[in-house]
Copies of this chain bind each other. A is one copy, B any other.
């Protein structure tokens, strides 16, 4: 199977598209731009969800669910939000179908036209803040720390599985606070929740920073983001957290009575990550043989393949494997024993390599005699023969090692593709190599726009705690007080 996979060096984009489908992660559907997330891909997403959900709850958040549909007029209430979101949307105009009077299937019933069109949510700030008005009266109702796991729809013209799809799955946190300081602290806290999750669970190093005003979320006063670097040198925004000021509170008239009895507008944040994280995961670690999964997110961490001729061999091997399965599972390791006789060992090896299972154990009759087993690592593609005695501890340690190695490898890749440049020439050269480019910028939206036009690079972020450093803008030569991070991006 992996034989048919295009190599990264030949065509990175094609490699990605093929890999997503061949590794059974997702597929294009009959509906333009909408994907089917296949069971194997969904099992990874479930692990992402579960771990994030735990982190959200540990930081005091609760889940809720708000309507899929938003009345069209809601989008007009927050001026900059409508520009950003209310354009490429799925619009529900009717609520009934009927049999075609000409007998050709079913048609829309024109009598069932909605008075006001409904928009399938592209994000839920408007409907949620309209709801919060009823939930918030007093300082005692604050902070309100709510998250939602949901599907959203943005009518994208060019779609790619996981990276940009018309419908995608995500979580969106929407919090309400009594003070500006508290809201900013919340937005920053969630940035770090995301950053810690992505680094420790997904093995992807990220830059934590703020967006330039041009790149802010529609309606935000500050957008925080985590930025990852893919193997092809392009950046990928992996999560965002927004300080929304009082914009939505004012648009939807959400006030609270303070301890002192004054009516005040509420301060807001919102923050989200989506199935796009799956794209980041795939592109960070995988290779020309297929998917490479970090053990913490792999649905199967270990697979055991028996090498046998007949029933008798298989029984003997299974007798050795059964206690091993038990002891591995007792350590909380997700292990699968693939003793199917409908596929050959070679086919299975390819299959699990393609699917990125971190550790493969293979065992035959000779191994049993010698009391050993073959251990293959997916990340390094190395094999070694290991004694069966103490194998459970060996595997547990190995899984930790692989998790660390993937992060180290991705970090090294980022290091090797991070540049500091001082001139436009160096800037373009660095961009063409690919990677994060730290460069001086004069701080104006116009220059940022101009740089994007010429080079297709955007400011990915202004890192948190960015050191101040005098310099001159690479484009205009005007004075600059700090370097910002440019890259071409997904």
A residues at B contact (CB < 8 Å): 27, 29-31, 34-39, 42-43, 45-46, 62-76, 82, 86-98, 105-106, 108, 117-120, 127, 130-131, 134, 140, 146, 150-151, 153, 155, 167, 169, 342
Contacts and interface: CB of A to CB of B under 8 A. Distances in A.
Given A62-B42, A90-B118, A95-B89, A34 B68 contact: yes
B29 A127 contact: yes
A97 B91 contact: yes
Contacts of A119: 97
14 contacts: A30-B130, A31-B127, A36-B65, A36-B66, A36-B67, A38-B64, A65-B169, A68-B153, A72-B105, A75-B97, A89-B95, A92-B93, A93-B93, A97-B119
Given A29-B131, A42-B63, A64-B39, A98 B87 contact: yes
The 7 closest A-B pairs by CB, nearest first: A34-B67, A39-B62, A76-B105, A37-B65, A91-B94, A95-B155, A93-B93
A282 to B, nearest CB: 17
Contact of A71 (B31, B37, B70): B31
Contacts of A72: 97, 105-106, 108
Contacts of A131: 27, 29-30, 36
A69 B31 contact: yes
A63 B91 contact: no
Contacts of A95: 88-91, 155
A465 to B, nearest CB: 34
A71 B93 CA distance: 15
A91 B108 contact: yes
Contact of A30 (B36, B71, B87, B94): B71
Q: How many copies, total?
A: 2
Given A72-B106, A105-B76, A140-B342, A96 B66 contact: no
Contacts of A74: 30
A87 B92 contact: no
A37 B146 CA distance: 12
A96 B88 contact: yes
A368 B303 CA distance: 56
A127 B37 CA distance: 13
Contacts of A70: 31
Given A73-B105, A96-B88, A167-B67, A146 B27 contact: no
B97 A94 contact: no
Nearest to A342: B140
B97 A67 contact: no
B27 A43 contact: no
B87 A96 contact: yes
Given A31-B67, A68-B153, A92-B90, A76 B118 contact: no
Given A39-B62, A42-B64, 17 more contacts: A29-B66, A30-B71, A30-B131, A34-B68, A37-B64, A38-B64, A39-B64, A42-B63, A43-B62, A69-B167, A76-B105, A86-B106, A87-B96, A87-B97, A90-B118, A91-B94, A92-B92
Contacts of A106: 72, 75-76, 82, 86
A474 B209 CA distance: 75
Contacts of A86: 97, 106
A25 B95 CA distance: 27
A253 B66 CA distance: 37
A98 B69 CA distance: 18
A144 to B, nearest CB: 9
Contacts of A90: 69, 92, 94-95, 118
Contacts of A97: 72, 75, 86-87, 89, 91, 119
Contacts of A92: 90-93, 120
Given A96-B89, A108-B117, A140-B342, A42 B65 contact: yes
B151 A68 contact: yes
Contacts of A118: 31, 90
A106 B69 CA distance: 16
A35 B67 contact: yes
Nearest to A130: B30
Contacts of A75: 97, 106
Contacts of A66: 29, 36
A167 B68 contact: yes
Contacts of A65: 36-37, 42, 45, 169
Contact of A108 (B37, B39, B93, B150): B93
A120 B150 CA distance: 15
Contacts of A68: 34, 120, 151, 153, 167
